[in-house]
Amino acid sequence: MKGTLYGSLTSPYARLTRLVRTRSGADSSIAFEPASPWDDSFRAVNPLGKVPAMVMEDGAVLAETSLIVRSLMEIGGQSLLPAEPAARRQAEADVALCLGLLDLGVAYFLESRRDASEQSGDWQKRRQEGLRLGMTSLEEAAGRAEQARDGAAALALACTADWLDFRLGDKVDWKNACPTAAALVADMLSVEDIAATDPRLA
Ligand SMILES: N[C@@H](CCC(=O)N[C@@H](CS)C(=O)NCC(=O)O)C(=O)O
């Protein structure tokens, strides 16, 4: 099954799917096309206006990172998750944790860019609280990901933590809160494909 993966070069969600695309072997079937969610013409691809989105030759539009990750692994034939069910469930939960932290971080970041009079202090506080409390779970996830550095959970952790640095470096001090994650991510960021998808290069 052929298809095209669309994503912006700064999106941490898209970065994860780009890494999974090549690492799972799906790159021979699935092309990658840079796309901006803020470009009106992108609505023809994904009416929701979000990246990443993956469009299949049969017309299916996959517009959610976790779904795209799962489909890429199926298409590529190389799973980046443990085979054992409980370990797989935990790894998927760790990926979901990272995506949830990104949801909070992205919402915080976008709101912080609005005119000050339009920003909601309560919502920003709530998002910050979620990010702060989520750090304990992130550190636990890093302990597991250390043992499976090529896995989807480790990739999600690297994409998430690096994006937090990129966009919210002065707001979310994840490195102090999560020393295991900090050491793991520092190592992972020098791996060739991860370094090549650095959002700062966009
Ligand atoms: N739940 C979505 C979130 C994706 C997402 O929020 N992507 C951002 C870019 S980092 C986006 O497209 N934002 C545009 C918008 O929210 O209108 C997923 O997991 O794929």
pLDDT at 95: 98
Of the three residues 22, 52, 76, the one that is the final residue of a domain is 76
**If you take atom 1 of ligand 1, which residue's CA is the nearest one?**
64
Which pLDDT tens digit goes with each residue over 100-133? 999 999 999 999 999 999 999 999 999 999 999 9
Q: Which atom of ligand 1 is nearest to the CA of 14?
A: 10
- Looking at the structure, do residues 91 and 67 belong to the same domain, yes or no? no
pLDDT at 13: 98
Tell me the average pLDDT across 146-157. 97
Residues within 6 Å of ligand 1 by CB: 11, 13, 37, 49-52, 64-65, 99, 106
- Looking at the structure, do residues 106 and 29 belong to the same domain, yes or no? no
CA distance 194 to 192: 6
- Looking at the structure, do residues 175 and 98 belong to the same domain, yes or no? yes
Domain membership of residue 191 (yes or no) is: yes
Look up the domain containing 116 and give its range: 85-195
- Looking at the structure, do residues 27 and 112 belong to the same domain, yes or no? no
Helix (H, G, I), strand (E, B) or coil at 84: coil
- Looking at the structure, do residues 21 and 68 belong to the same domain, yes or no? yes
Band the pLDDT of 6: cuts 50, 70, 90: very high
Of the three residues 48, 76, 104, the one that is the final residue of a domain is 76
Q: Which atom of ligand 1 is nearest to the CA of 48?
A: 17
Domain membership of residue 201 (yes or no) is: no
- Looking at the structure, do residues 121 and 152 belong to the same domain, yes or no? yes
Tell me the percentage of the chain whose pLDDT exceeds 90.
100
Number of folded domains that form the chain: 2
- Looking at the structure, do residues 60 and 145 belong to the same domain, yes or no? no
pLDDT at 121: 95
Distance (angstroms) between ligand 1 centre and the Cα of 84 equals 31
Q: Which atom of ligand 1 is nearest to the CA of 10?
A: 10
- Looking at the structure, do residues 66 and 90 belong to the same domain, yes or no? no
Which pLDDT tens digit goes with each residue over 80-102? 999 999 999 999 999 999 999 99
Place of tokens 């980046």: 80
**If you take atom 2 of ligand 1, which residue's CA is the nearest one?**
64
- Looking at the structure, do residues 64 and 156 belong to the same domain, yes or no? no
State the pTM of this model.
0.98
Burial of residue 126 (number of CB atoms within 10 Å: 0-12, 13-18, 19+):
middle
- Looking at the structure, do residues 163 and 122 belong to the same domain, yes or no? yes
Burial of residue 88 (number of CB atoms within 10 Å: 0-12, 13-18, 19+):
middle
Cβ(97)–Cβ(51) below 8 Å: no
Which domain CATH number covers 118? 1.20.1050.10
